[in-house]
Every structure is written in structure tokens, then in C-alpha cells.
């Protein structure tokens, strides 16, 4: 299924490609850095990187911002709040919060693929207060209770 999403391109993203799928089976679209000049992220630092895009995700959906696996593995570069959420009613610029967990400074260049966008359906919750939850075999077990 293909879902159409309105996108506004800001002045600092002129000339850059829109996010796109790189293969027919890709679930994420690569999004580009719309920086005016190279920006360095020192080890242990966090940087907000503009994309120059405003988007209108349809109601009932969100755009998730996720790290690119190659940048994470090779350079220690992560989307710090992964997955980041672009809500359907947000109309500001899409920006990516990158953190450098690698040992070396990393340079963000204009047009560099910095993250992935994944469209995801969002279900709404209606809470049902109960006196006690039903039990399961697992119940409260967590944090490694099944072994290493």
C-alpha cells in the first residue's frame, strides 16, 4: 500500500532529494542533512540536524525516525531518542537528534543520509481500570528472568 504524504521543502533544503527507499524491500526511507556547511559531532556529543522538510503524516499514523545501521556500526552514530516520533499533527521542521558514541569526531555533510523514516500506524488506547490483572505464566517476570 502506498500512502501519500504532503511535504514542504524549506529554503535550506533546496536542491536536496526527498527521502526515498533504496531498495524495493526497504521499510525505511533515507532522510538527508540540510546543513549549510559541514558540522562535526565530537565523541559523546549530541547534535540536532535539520532536514529542511515539514511533513503532514496522515491521522492515525506517525513517522518514526530511526538510525541508519551502517552509521551506527561503523561510526557509533545513533538517533538518540530512537525511534523518534513525528506526530500527525506536528507541522514544524523534521530534525534528527544524533549522538556520537564512537571514538572519533564525525562530520555531517550537506546531503548526507543521516537517518531513516518509517511510516507506522498508531492505535489509540482506552484505559480499563481493574482491581487486579489476570495472571500469566510469566506474570511479573522480566529483566532476564528466562536466563541469559
Instruction: Please state, in angstroms and rounded to a whole number, the distance separating the CA atoms of residues 34 and 13.
Output: 5
User: In this model, does residue 114 exceed pLDDT 70?
Assistant: yes
The per-residue pLDDT for 97 is 98
pTM for the structure as a whole: 0.87
6-121 CATH, one of 3.40.50.300, 2.170.8.10, 2.70.40.10, 3.40.50.720: 2.70.40.10
The residues spanned by each domain of the chain are 6-121
- Quick check: 62 pLDDT over 70? yes
pLDDT at res. 137: 81
Instruction: Say how many residues make up the chain.
Output: 148
For 34-71, the DSSP string reads --SS-EEE-TT-EEEEEEEEEEEPPTTEEEEEE--HHH
pLDDT for position 140 = 73
Amino acid at each position: 500500500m502506498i500512502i501519500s504524504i504532503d511535504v514542504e521543502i524549506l529554503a535550506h533544503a533546496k536542491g536536496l532529494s526527498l527521502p526515498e527507499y533504496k531498495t524495493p524491500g526497504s521499510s525505511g526511507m533515507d532522510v538527508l542533512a540540510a546543513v549549510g556547511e559541514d558540522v562535526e559531532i565530537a565523541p559523546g556529543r549530541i547534535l540536532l540536524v535539520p532536514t529542511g522538510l515539514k511533513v503532514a503524516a496522515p491521522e492515525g499514523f506517525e513517522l518514526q525516525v530511526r538510525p541508519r545501521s551502517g552509521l551506527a556500526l561503523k561510526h557509533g552514530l545513533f538517533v538518540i531518542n530512537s525511534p523518534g516520533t513525528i506526530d500527525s499533527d506536528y507541522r514544524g521542521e523534521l530534525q534528527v537528534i544524533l549522538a556520537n558514541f564512537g571514538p572519533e569526531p564525525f562530520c555531517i555533510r550537506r546531503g548526507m543520509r543521516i537517518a531513516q523514516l518509517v511510516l507506522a500506524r498508531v492505535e489509540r488506547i482506552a484505559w480499563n481500570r481493574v482491581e487486579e490483572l489476570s495472571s500469566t505464566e510469566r506474570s511479573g517476570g522480566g529483566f532476564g528472568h528466562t536466563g541469559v
